[in-house]
Each structure stands twice: as C-alpha cells, then as structure tokens.
Amino acid sequence: MYMKKILCLLYLLSIFCFSHAQNENTYLEQKIDSTLSGMTIREKAGQLNQLDGRGTIENLKILIRKGEIGSVMNITEPEIVNELQEIAYKQSRSGIPLVFTRDVVHGFKTMLPIPLGQAATFHPELIQKGARIAAIEATEHGVRWSFAPMIDISRDARWGRIAESFGEDTYLTEQMAVAVVNGFQGDNLSNPQSMAACAKHFIGYGAVEGGRDYNSTFIPERRLRNVYLPPFEAATKAGAATFMTSFNDNDGIPSTGNAFILKNVLRDEWEFDGFVVTDWASASEMISHGFAAGSKEAAMKSVNAGVDMEMVSYTFVKELPELVKEGKVKESTIDEAVRNILRIKYRLGLFDTPYVDEQQTSVMYAPSHLEAAKQAAVESAILLKNDKEVLPLQPSVKTVAVVGPMANAPYEQLGTWIFDGEKARTQTPLNAIKEMVGDKVQVIYEPGLAYSREKNPASVAKAAATAARADVILAFVGEESILSGEAHCLADLDLQGDQGALITALAKTGKPVVTIVMAGRPLTIGKEVEESTAVLYSFHPGTMGGPALADLLWGKAVP
C-alpha cells in the first residue's frame, strides 16, 4: 500500500512537471509572437544580421537604433556592451536586445589546453568545469554567446583546425560536445553567468580534401550519419542553443545552402528549436562556390535552406525585403527565423536583464580557475617514451638544462583562438621549474632557438655545449601558436626550423634528453623520439602549462 502511494505521488509529480513545462513553453511562444507581430520586414531582416564590432562603433549605433542588427561580435568592454544594449533596448522601435558573442574556444582569460589537448584527457567532467569557468569569465565582459564547441571529426593532422577539434573519434567527441554545452549553458540559460553554446561546424568541415582549409568534401550519407553527425545530435540533445554552418560544400552543396542538413536532419529529425548562424561570410561565399549567382541568390538560398542569422555578409539585411516582394522568400520563412532568434534571446533572459554589471567583483584568473586549468594541462599530457625510467626526475638530479624555443614562450603555449589570452599571466615551464626546485637544483637555461621556425646552427651548437654540463636535459620544442588554427594548414608535419637538429645535438652529449613537445596538432617526430631518452607530448597547454609540466617531470603528477 505504501509503495502504491509513492508511485501515485511520483506519477502526479511527473504530470505537474510536464504541465508546468508546457505552460512555460506556451507563455514563451506567446511573448515571441507578440514581439514579432509589431515588427516591420526591415526590422525582421535586421534580427537576422550579425556584425563585427571591432573598430568604430558609430555606424553600429545608427544601425542598432534603426533595428537593423540582431547580434554583435567581438566587443568585450562592459561599458560599450551596455551603451549599445541601451540603444537597442530603449531607443530602437522594436526594443529587442542584442546578443553579444565571441570565439571563447578553450578559455576566456584563463586558458585551458587547446580542445585537442582537452580530448586527450578523456575526462568530460573536467572539460565541463573548464567550459563553466570560461562562461563565468566571459559573461563578466558581456559575452553571452560563444562560437564553440567545435565538434568536427578531424582525422587529417595537416588541417590547421584539428587543434580546435576533439580529434578523430566520434564517441569521444560526442562526450566532449555534451560537456562543453553543459559547461557553457549551466542549469539555466537565463543565469547572467551562462553563455549560449554554438555547435560548429555543421557539417563535415573536418574532412576537407587534402587537409586544406575551406576545401570541399565528399561524405556519403551513411558515413555522414555514422561518423560526422552524432556529436551534433548529442549537442542538440544536451540543449545547445545555436548551430553554425560550415564553410565547406559537401558533394557540391555548401552547408549554408543545404536544406537536407538544416531542415530534414536538424529541425525535423532532431527537433532543434534554437537558431542557426552562418560562419564568417559563408552566405556570400556561396557565390565563390558557384552555388549562387550573386548576393540576392545567396540570401535566398541560405534563408530558404534554414539559416536564421547571417554573420557579416550583409546579404540578408540588404536583399530579404526585396526577395519577399518578389515572392522568392516567404515572409513566414523570415518570421520563423526571427522566432528562433527571439526564443534564444528570451531564454538568455536578455529581455529582463539586458545589461552586464560593470561593478561586479572580477573573477578573472581566480585560484580555482587556475587550478582547473592546471589539472586539465596535466591530464592532457601523453608519455610517449621513458627509457631508463628517467622520469620522474630523482633527487640525485642536481643540475638540469632547460633548452628549446617553447621553454619560455608564454604566448605560444596558449595555442590558437586566444583573442583574450594574456601572455603576461601565462606560467611557462622555465619559470615553473625554477619556482619548483628553488635552490635545490641548478637550472641552466639556453634556448638554442628563439622561436620554433628559426634556423640557427651556431645557437644550436651553443645550447648543446651548455646543456652538456647538466645531469638531465629538458628540451621544450613544438609549434608556435600561429602554426595551427584556421587557415594554418601544413603539408610538412616535421618539427619546424632547426628543432630536429637541436634534439640531435643534445642527444650527442650523452646526457639523458627529456623532450617535451608543445604543439597544436600531432607531429611526425619519429627521429626525435628515437634520439630522446623520454618524451612527453603536450598539446598547447594554456595558461598553466608550466606548472603542469613541472609537476609531471618531477613526479608530483602522473601522465
């Protein structure tokens, strides 16, 4: 009898929760319809228009006042965010707030390892914590929407954006996608410290031919569904607020004009109710693809395919009113796009709390943030070799030589997509090692090369001669941050410059050589591994890379 009562109560509770959710959704849709009903076609097109806020903002103010902008990118000064929001909210006729966005990819100020390094942790809970930290820091600056996670399956290390991905495995990428979405968005999107996620790039961008950025793909539907779509479906189920179309065309159809993926799959199959934004000018780039004859056709094909917001191309705001008059785009299609955008703006709480608190206490680089970043860097490192059990370094080691261009390169170790990263706050391996060992171990620093691409045989020889005085040589090599990321594809994946020669020269000293690689992608380092006594591979580790690597080298942490 007691169990029957419990089951009855649970049943009634489930009915109440379902009914409450239905009422909330109905109320939200009524508010959206009310807002939409008073808008002109020009204002509707304006909601679909996203512009870059860098540079002069006077023109932005004019367009915002006229209701011709729905979102602004790349403004991170709270006072400017509030000034522009005031114009949108109080001075535009429709009173619709803006949503401010930024590429917050692996941190805002406190940088975690690049996403490829995050994948190497195999620790979704830690990555979710990192995304939550990024959201807390970014929202303090007025950023309420991030262009992440990037969940393209990436299997060609020549592609520069492999650094920004979670790698080659579909299941792992699904788990990381959910972790980042949950971290960014939290339990309630309307929380001022929550930030809308954007699942990108939809779809197949990581499979570009030859590893060449922006190139074409040919992915049959079976492979698309088995390999490339599952992470995006997982992001949808996790509640990702937005999606971004990819630059590539697949089998001749650019993603920005692909109704099959945007309508049939995303809307109909997965029941996604957020909004879709193009990548940077990818609507107008359909002209270059030969898929659209001009800006009018690009706008028509994008909107009719299921795109809701256009990034920086201006074709929507310029062409849609005329396309509606001509009957080539239904006004109901534009209404649905506006409805999708308004739904996310309401969920973000922007209509109730449009402004960022300029007086709040800053949480940038909070100790807990730095500790999480350090832990992520520790767990992202991979031990490739450890001959003679040289690691962890023993108390008998009294002198270490620290060499290589990545030993004290605060900007380079942050990796790609670090708009807001600050090299002055980066903790490098050299400084972390000195702090750790104090006066117990002598640290000899001779970089050998000033940067990863430098060719300087004389400096290499000097570094080897200096390092020969040490008990153990720690060689920090890899890639500068600019060598990976968007539009930074490489045909040659060997260590750049004279880094290979540096490892060879160090090996000839006869002293144990511990090689630490800090890079944005997998590299072809077979020769260097053979010549080294031990090898630690650390994808660009972020702000706390130095302390993390020092802990690993001395055994305070285990790779």
Is residue 548 within 8 A of residue 541, CB to CB? The reply is: yes
HSE on the CB side for 517, CA within 13 Å?
28
pLDDT at 358: 95
10 Å CB burial of residue 112 (0-12, 13-18, 19+) is buried
Q: Which residues contact 265 (CB under 8 A, 6 or more apart)?
A: 229
Residue whose tokens read 């195999």: 122
Q: How far apart are CA 528 and CA 533, in angstroms?
A: 10
pLDDT at 83: 98
pLDDT at 3: 67
pLDDT at 24: 78
pLDDT tens digit string along 400-442? 999 999 999 999 999 999 999 999 999 999 999 999 999 999 9
pLDDT at 17: 57
DSSP helix/strand/coil, 40: coil
Q: Give CA separation, 41 vs 182, 302, 409, in Å.
A: 35, 17, 52
pLDDT at 466: 98
Is residue 130 within 8 A of residue 371, CB to CB? The reply is: no
Task: For residue 203, give the DSSP letter.
Answer: T
> How big is the CA angle at 148 (ends 341 and 82), to the nearest 5 degrees?
55
Q: How far apart are CA 263 and CA 342, in angstroms?
A: 19
Q: Give CA separation, 551 vs 19, 62, 160, 393, in Å.
A: 53, 54, 29, 10
pLDDT tens digit string along 99-116? 999 999 999 999 999 999
Q: For residue 503, what are its two tokens? A: 């490892």
Q: How far apart are CA 504 and CA 529, in angstroms?
A: 10
Q: How far apart are CA 318 and CA 60, in angstroms?
A: 15
Q: In what order do the strands lie in the sheet with 198-202?
A: 198-202, 242-245, 275-277
pLDDT at 25: 86
pLDDT at 55: 87
pTM: 0.94
Catalytic residues: 279
Q: How far apart are CA 348 and CA 71, in angstroms?
A: 13
Measuring CA to CA, which residue among 143, 4, 162 is closest to residue 77? 143
Residue whose tokens read 């690691």: 391
- Which residue type, as a one-letter code, is found at position 208? V
Adjacent-strand bridge partners of 50: 71, 311
Q: How many CB atoms lie within 10 A of CB 411?
A: 16
Taking 50 as the pLDDT cut, the residues of the chain under it are: none
Q: How far apart are CA 386 and CA 393, in angstroms?
A: 11
Q: For residue 47, what are its two tokens? A: 């909601």
DSSP helix/strand/coil, 175: helix
pLDDT at 56: 85
